[in-house]
Amino acid sequence: MIIGLEINFILIDCPPTYSSYTVSALLPSDFLVIPVKAEGYSVLGIDMLMDVVDLVVDEKSIYFKDKPLHNLGVIFTDIRKSPTTGTLRTLETIKNSKDLRKRSLYFFNEFFTHNSHLPKDIDYFIDASNSGNSKANLDIIVDELL
């Protein structure tokens, strides 16, 4: 254990498109995490995002010369605590997609569980909430992230 080591994370949510938001988020970043819902078009979305990331890294290579951008992987979001069989099947379909296997993406074992407050309240902050489930979920995800 290293005493006094402080690790800071800044998470920037941006669209999975080639835009000034995405470029501005990627340029100063050291790491990339891809949050994904378990939906039919997720494979296409991940694949398109990776094309955008590759393009940005290629076009702006000077920014990544001494500081490569590391893809930490895909984390599934908005998953019920007890996922349905259909959701589990969709997760496996995404993970086993031929297109995504070519990219050698890591898929987090843990996922962000559904929290009904997140889409309703822009000021909602898990750590300041009374949601013991979401706090515990976040701790588990951070442990896997580290």
Residue 4, domain member (yes or no): no
Residue 9, domain member (yes or no): no
The stretches of the chain forming alpha helices (DSSP H) are: 20-26, 42-59, 61-64, 85-95, 98-101, 132-145
User: What integer pLDDT is reported at residue 140 of this predicted model?
Assistant: 81
CA distance 22 to 12: 9
Each residue's pLDDT, cut to its tens digit, for the chain (146 residues) gives: 556 666 677 778 887 888 999 999 999 999 999 999 999 899 999 999 999 999 999 999 999 999 999 999 999 988 998 999 999 999 999 999 998 999 999 999 999 887 765 666 565 566 566 666 777 777 788 888 88
The tens digit of pLDDT for each residue in 34-45 reads: 999 999 899 999
User: What integer pLDDT is reported at residue 120 of this predicted model?
Assistant: 61
CA distance 95 to 100: 7
Domain housing 48? 20-145
Reading the block at residue 40, the tokens are: 């039919």
The tens digit of pLDDT for each residue in 135-145 reads: 777 778 888 88
Number of domains making up the chain:
1
Residue 92, domain member (yes or no): yes
Q: What is the CATH number of the domain that holds 111?
A: 3.40.50.300
Distances in Å between the Cα of 138 and the Cα atoms of 32, 75, 125 are 17, 12, 11
In the three-class reduction of DSSP (H, G, I as helix; E, B as strand; rest coil), residue 20 is classed as helix
Beta carbons of 113 and 80 less than 8 angstroms apart = yes
Evaluate if pTM is beyond 0.85.
no
Of residues 100, 111, 99, 101, the one with CA closest to residue 145: 111
Residues in the chain: 146
